[in-house]
Structure 1
Amino acid sequence: MSVLLRRTKRSMPVASNWSTRLSLQQDLLWSRWQALSSRDQLALSILMVFLILFVGGYGGYTVHQAAKASKEDYQQQVTDYFWLRSQAANIDSTALAALDSQNDSSAQPPASRVNTLLNGSGIDNAQVVAAGDKVQLSFTNDSQALVSAALAKLEQQGLQFNQLTMQQDLASKQIQVQATVSF
């Protein structure tokens, strides 16, 4: 085999540009292809077709999976966008202003911060008392959604509930909340 390689290297003229070198390589491959027996040509042809189909099929499958994932991601983002737009009417501008003022006044005492958060959530007349490093709060409201949103907002601001008691009066439907929170 090395003898054939040395002969072909000696017989190949030096090419000056890329197209000439490419045509020389094609001529060399074609002459070697012609030198193969018909059985070897058939076997190599079948192997090349298989490799082309395998690589093309796998590449097509990979591109299809990536396109499918991209489409699902896009559809999820569109769904999220329209959901956010539908919730725009539910945003309470006073609550946003209270949050902004609370972020600016983080030097407030803990009880004042809790009271500001509750007022921003729509809970009026809450009783908030500082007890050492904890804050005790108590309020009543007839809306379970408002109570849940207020408690969630307290939790989002980094408060941890040490104790939480919720009771509903069956006659007035008022929900009474008593909690102890810490920062």
Structure 2
Amino acid sequence: MKRIIKILAFGGLVCICGLLCLPMTAVSSEVPTIEPPVIVTTCGQSPGAVMVKMSLMQAQIVPVENNNTIIASELKGKGYKTLIVTTGTSGKGMGAAGTNINKEIARCKEVIAAAKEEGMIVITAHVEGMARRTDSADQQSIDEIMPLGDVMLVVAESDSDGYFTKLAQEYGKPLIVAKDALEIGKKLKEYVKVEK
């Protein structure tokens, strides 16, 4: 009788563990094909968008443009295929641009919505490591923008505590992890449409 109870208890434990693991396996791992021309912007006026542009140029993912103040209407009819929006903020950058985190979030949400209307792939990114996860403005940009992408892109340091892995799982988004900012272009190249 004790043996039967032990077997049933073990079986129940296995079932519970299986159920707990379901959210982990529910994450979509299929990254859509990325296609240039690419437009990159920032939600928070940090240098991340420029870093992404430079890395994509180095990897020959061109044409690629960077516009940190782009608005929704500027996407229409330009032929862009992919939008990348970086998160993490710079107080100095926002001050110099005459904006704030709330305006940045509103602008980027409108740009993302317009990009989706244009049939573009949207990649939301965090590429400056833990230095851009230090205050409430950083967190606001992450919380409001990261879930809106078709794909999430981070550098390894940004996800050193597993935060973005969990976020991607929560929203069922594929997550691309580059070793560092220099490797972003090389990593994205794996998903770029090859012309025949």
Question: What range is the shorter-chain TM-score in?
Answer: under 0.3
TM-score (norm 1): 0.28
Q: Give 1 or 2 for the bigger CA radius of gyration.
A: 1
TM-score (norm 2): 0.26
Q: Of Structure 1 and Structure 2, which has the larger fraction of its residues in helix?
A: 1
